[in-house]
């Protein structure tokens, strides 16, 4: 089992990154240091780690910086003696990539390249280090009614977002083969859970339901996604970086396929149970909007490899995870108010309300 002294987490103030950092401090025996490196774009919120920062002042450091800034990346690796990089930082919303792809190319491709170059230079030929790259199942393209994505499924990205992630995946693999950089990689299905920025399906629907606002569903809502509770994902990443085979990729999924419209109906039912409101008063809010261009029909992950090799498995059922997530949003109104402001609010109004 690999052990690290100083782990650099890029994008650690984002949804999955902050949950991963919380997981390390709350559910593992890790005794080293965590350095959170985040640009704090609209989706990065340091409030998500306020408790961790207060409780672990001696082991947690936050750096407000851009992964595309070569000098700061290089100096961070040297100053904090980084021996593991867990790379979450990315622009990740498909709709935003369609309306403005430039930031996705810059952050997801150039940012990953900057990190790899800095790691290669700083680590030299060391083998007691690791670069772990988090990616998405969207790089594989779209499935029909049957079949699954495996680790060796050919890439077939359909959006600027998935194309930028596919490119970054290939660059990571190239550094493994060309420079013998110790890397691992994971491709995950759709995450959900606490601290999720409310532009994605589940948090948006929860908050709109609670606020009695329209519930916008693309097309007929028949697109299928595989849902993974974020803490289960964090557990998978921890197993990969500590036990996974160097050079290998691992698919991480919830094995939990739902049509988008069925997810919305289930959320309405669960919110009704928490608020004692009639469920139909929420379902009546469902509004069908023009489908997203190039909207992939179905994603489904086969994660036998990580289960068989590393002993990982999901621990949270979808209904348990949804209920826990709904209750988190009900209890954390201050966090919600702070993130629903400025550029983000304007984007939501333009892309959903007007449609």
Tokens 């493994």 belong to 176
Identify the DSSP state of 49: G
Using an 8 Å Cβ cutoff, are 111 and 171 in contact?
Answer: no
Active-site residue, selected from the candidate residues 38, 138, 235, 296:
138
CA distance 152 to 305: 11
Instruction: Please give the biggest Cα pair distance in the chain.
Output: 63
Q: What is the DSSP letter of 301?
A: B
329 carries an active-site annotation: no
| Helix locations, 227-259, DSSP H | 230-243
Catalytic annotation present for 319: no
Total number of residues shown for the chain: 355
Q: Are 190 and 259 in contact (CB under 8 A)?
A: no
CA 220 to chain CA centroid, nearest Å: 26
Q: How far is the C-alpha of 160 from the C-alpha of 171, rounded, in Å?
A: 16
Q: Is 95 a catalytic residue?
A: no
Q: In 10 A of CB 284, how many CB atoms?
A: 13
Q: Which residue in 38, 66, 83, 137 is the catalytic one?
A: 137
Give me the catalytic one of 122, 161, 192, 229: 161
Q: State the catalytic residues.
A: 137-138, 161
């Amino acid at each position: 089992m690999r052990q690290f002294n100083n782990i650099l987490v890029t994008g650690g103030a984002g949804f999955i990154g902050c949950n991963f950092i919380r997981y390390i401090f709350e559910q593992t025996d890790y005794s080293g240091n965590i350095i959170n490196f985040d640009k704090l774009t609209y989706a990065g919120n340091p409030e998500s780690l306020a408790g961790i920062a207060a409780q672990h002042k001696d082991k947690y450091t936050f750096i407000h910086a851009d992964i595309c800034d070569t000098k700061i990346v290089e100096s961070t690796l040297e100053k904090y003696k980084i021996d593991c990089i867990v790379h979450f930082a990315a622009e990740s919303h498909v709709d935003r990539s369609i309306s403005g792809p430039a930031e996705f190319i810059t952050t997801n491709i150039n940012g990953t390249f900057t990190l790899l170059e800095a790691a290669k230079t700083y680590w030299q030929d060391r083998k007691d280090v690791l670069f772990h790259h988090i990616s998405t199942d969207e790089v594989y393209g779209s499935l029909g009614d049957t079949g699954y994505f495996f680790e060796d499924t050919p890439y077939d990205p359909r959006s600027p977002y998935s194309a930028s992630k596919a490119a970054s995946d290939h660059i990571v693999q190239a550094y493994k083969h060309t420079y013998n950089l110790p890397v691992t990689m994971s491709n995950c299905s759709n995450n959900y859970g606490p601290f999720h920025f409310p532009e994605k399906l589940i948090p948006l629907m929860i908050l709109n339901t609670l606020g009695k606002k329209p519930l916008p569903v693309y097309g007929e809502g028949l697109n299928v996604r595989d849902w993974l509770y974020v803490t289960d994902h964090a557990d998978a990443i921890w197993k990969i970086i500590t036990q996974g085979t160097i050079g290998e990729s691992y698919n991480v999924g919830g094995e939990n396929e739902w049509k988008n419209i069925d997810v919305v109906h289930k959320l309405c039912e669960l919110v009704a149970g928490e608020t004692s409101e009639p469920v139909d008063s929420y379902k009546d809010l469902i509004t069908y909007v023009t489908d997203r261009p190039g909207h992939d029909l179905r994603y489904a992950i086969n994660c036998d490899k990580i289960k068989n090799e590393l002993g990982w498995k999901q621990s949270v059922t979808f209904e348990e995870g949804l209920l826990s997530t709904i209750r988190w949003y009900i209890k954390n109104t201050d966090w919600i108010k702070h993130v629903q402001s400025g550029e983000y609010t304007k984007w939501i109004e333009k892309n959903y309300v007007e449609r």
